[in-house]
Amino acid sequence: MRVLGIESSCDDTGVGVYDGERGLLAHRLASQTVHEIFGGVVPELAARDHIRLLLPLVRRVLEDAEPGGPPPDAVAYTRGPGLAGALLVGASVGRSLAWAWGVPALGVHHMEGHLLAPLLEADPPEFPFVALLVSGGHTQLVDVAAPGRYRILGATLDDAAGEAFDKTAKLLGLGFPGGPAVAKAAADGRAGRFRFPRPMLDRPGLEFSFSGLKTHTLIVANEHRDAEGRLDSQTVCDIARAFEEAAVETLCVKSLRALEAAGRTRLVVAGGVGANRSLRALLDARTTDAGCRVYYSRLEFCTDNGAMIAFAGYLRLAAGERLESGSFEVMPRWSLESLPPIGSAA
């Protein structure tokens, strides 16, 4: 079975084709640049860019996968969570293509796509494991007993880690998207000049909170501005480093606590913040010391992409799940725990 996957939950337009026998055949990503001048994603503009980008991207990916070949055997698209308008574009195109080709279609949970993306690697993790899902809109620790069997161990109470990176980058004048911008500045920061609080590490539990860290960053930045409200470049880098160190250590400590609480020895890290090199280095060291192992998606699959939707859709479609009705709906809010185990429909 060859599955076309469409991702349009936020500001990245992704398309991929996955084959059950040959693996991932092709994928492409179009990252929207229209949001840079606003310092964050504008939902209406995101939806409009998906409309412009999606069908040409589908044509190119299908040609990459099998030049002149037949249509795919099924279509998977991101049903949620995400921005309602952006989700509707992908769902409309996905359902229309499936109807035109006479093939089944299925809406996929965006975070399940991220969670399962490391299974596309040459050395995939075995089940069960704990997943750290850390992106622009989500920060969750999930106990994964088997495909589709998910239990939320902890989540953010306010800002997701990716949001905190984006907002920190904006207040420091580093641009958008914030994660790579803060990491680049942090690489030139001096160790020890600032030490920021590690939110919620002084109490039990697996919840996260990044709003206080963001506020602390703002206070420190304002304390070091000159008379004209500017920060010198070295101070910007020093603040970026202190912020990144605090966020990374928080994610790492909570992940190790989750492994212990769930009794697991394997950790999967997925989502855009999972590409952060400082986070990977600290997790590699700490999990090794704890006798555990950590798995990542390749960097190109940390951010939103169509390959992960095609793969997650393939697993559920191959197990017998279908969207039988001609109608469809998107789900801007959608809990992972509400998903049925993969194979339960067979």
Strand partners, 130: 143, 267
163-208: pLDDT as tens digits: 999 999 999 999 888 899 999 999 999 999 999 999 999 989 999 9
The pLDDT of residue 312 is above 70: yes
The pLDDT of residue 224 is above 80: yes
**Domain check: are 170 and 58 in the same one?**
no
**Domain check: are 80 and 171 in the same one?**
no
61-108: pLDDT as tens digits: 999 999 999 999 999 999 999 999 999 999 999 999 999 999 999 999
**Domain check: are 148 and 199 in the same one?**
yes
Pairing of strands 2-7, 12-19: antiparallel
Q: Which domain holds residue 85?
A: 2-115+302-338
Predicted pLDDT of residue 325: 61
**Domain check: are 100 and 141 in the same one?**
no
Which stretches of the chain are DSSP H helices?
Answer: 43-65, 84-101, 110-116, 161-171, 178-186, 211-223, 233-262, 277-289, 306-318
**Domain check: are 246 and 132 in the same one?**
yes
Tell me if 135 sits within 8 A of 273, measured CB to CB: yes
The pLDDT of residue 321 is above 60: yes
Has residue 122 been placed in a domain? no
Residue 250, judged by CB atoms within 10 A of its CB (0-12, 13-18, 19+), counts as buried
105-154: pLDDT as tens digits: 999 999 999 999 999 999 999 999 999 999 878 899 999 999 999 999 99
Predicted pLDDT of residue 328: 83
Kindly report the CATH number assigned to the domain that includes residue 190: 3.30.420.40
Has residue 344 been placed in a domain? no
Percent of the chain with pLDDT over 70: 97
Has residue 346 been placed in a domain? no
**Domain check: are 165 and 291 in the same one?**
yes
**Domain check: are 281 and 169 in the same one?**
yes
Has residue 292 been placed in a domain? yes
Predicted pLDDT of residue 346: 43
Has residue 121 been placed in a domain? no
Has residue 343 been placed in a domain? no
The least confident of 50-54, 159-163, 205-209, 254-258 is 159-163
Has residue 164 been placed in a domain? yes
Has residue 235 been placed in a domain? yes
**Domain check: are 284 and 144 in the same one?**
yes
**Domain check: are 281 and 180 in the same one?**
yes
Predicted pLDDT of residue 135: 85
Predicted pLDDT of residue 345: 52
Tokens of 26: 């092709």
The sign of the CA dihedral 284, 172, 135, 202 is positive
The total number of structural domains that make up the chain: 2
The pLDDT of residue 302 is above 90: yes
